[in-house]
Structure 1
Amino acid sequence: MGKLTTHVLDTANGRPGAGVKVELFALAGDTRRALKTTTTNHDGRCDEPLLEGASFATGEYELVFHAGDYFAATGAQLPQPRFVDRVVLRFGIADANAHYHVPLLVSPWSYSTYRGS
């Protein structure tokens, strides 16, 4: 069976993004359904997969990373409004038997992602 995992890397400070709130939603057209809310651990990872087993299915999903709150908590000097605040990543799962790893590399000024392994 497949699974969905993530992690956060704080590229501004060269360390894991520990304590980042992450929300997961399932998308169906204009409908957005909350599936899970978690916080990254000391290594910037979630303690368990966001989806796995019977709950892991093909479809469209959205991850919301509360990056602005994370950087504010680190004491970073942020403009108001924040340039990078909540990072929203919409993606599709086409193979329910695969491992989808969706990391976030983030700073107060930029972010990127990729499908990892």
Structure 2
Amino acid sequence: MSIDPEQKAGGISVHAVDIARGVPAAGLGVRLFLLGAERVEIASGNCSEGGLLQHPVMDGAGVQRGVYEAEFDVGDYYRANGVAIPDPSFLDVAIFRFGIDKLAEHFHLPFKFTPWGFSLFRGGA
């Protein structure tokens, strides 16, 4: 199978939900990195009121075939929301590594978390 370098990327979207409190994770800090010879940040920001990371990466900006890491600032999120968590927190920064082989497909990352753990998978495939 050959890879067309002109192929439009399907994009990466993030939807975060604080399942400990049963709310979208408004304000959660998120960063996406493309891994290779160097670790390159392709997106960063805070999730919207609905828990979505609003960034051009959703429409494919900066996305290419390869391996990625997503970082989620769970500890900072809970501290900012007045939730009592240990110091140091059990889960501070959640890191998830994933690969994109089929560039034209959209990769949706539903991130569900508590101060004690998280679940992340490819949704909407």
Give the 3-state SS of the residue equivalent to 1:61 in structure 2: strand
Query: Which ranges of structure 2 fall in alignment gaps of 5 or more residues?
Result: 1-7
1:14-51, CA deviations, whole angstroms, 9 ceiling, x for partnerless residues? 1100001111111015x311222111000000223535
Which TM-score applies when normalising by structure 1? 0.91
1:48–1:35 Cα change, 3 Å? closer
Alignment check: 8 A CA contact 1:24 1:34 kept:
yes
1:106–1:55 Cα change, 3 Å? same
**How far apart in 2 are the matches of 1:59 and 1:91?**
9
Identity in percent: 36
67-76 or 44-53, which moves further after superposition?
44-53
1:56-111, CA deviations, whole angstroms, 9 ceiling, x for partnerless residues? 21100111011110011111111111001101111000111101001210100111
Which TM-score applies when normalising by structure 2? 0.86
Q: How many residues align structurally?
A: 116
**How far apart in 1 are the matches of 2:76 and 2:106?**
29
Query: Which ranges of structure 1 fall in alignment gaps of 5 or more residues?
Result: none
Partner of 2:45: 38
Q: CA RMSD in A?
A: 1.4
Give the 3-state SS of the residue equivalent to 1:26 in structure 2: strand
Q: Find the structure with the greater CA-based Rg.
A: 2
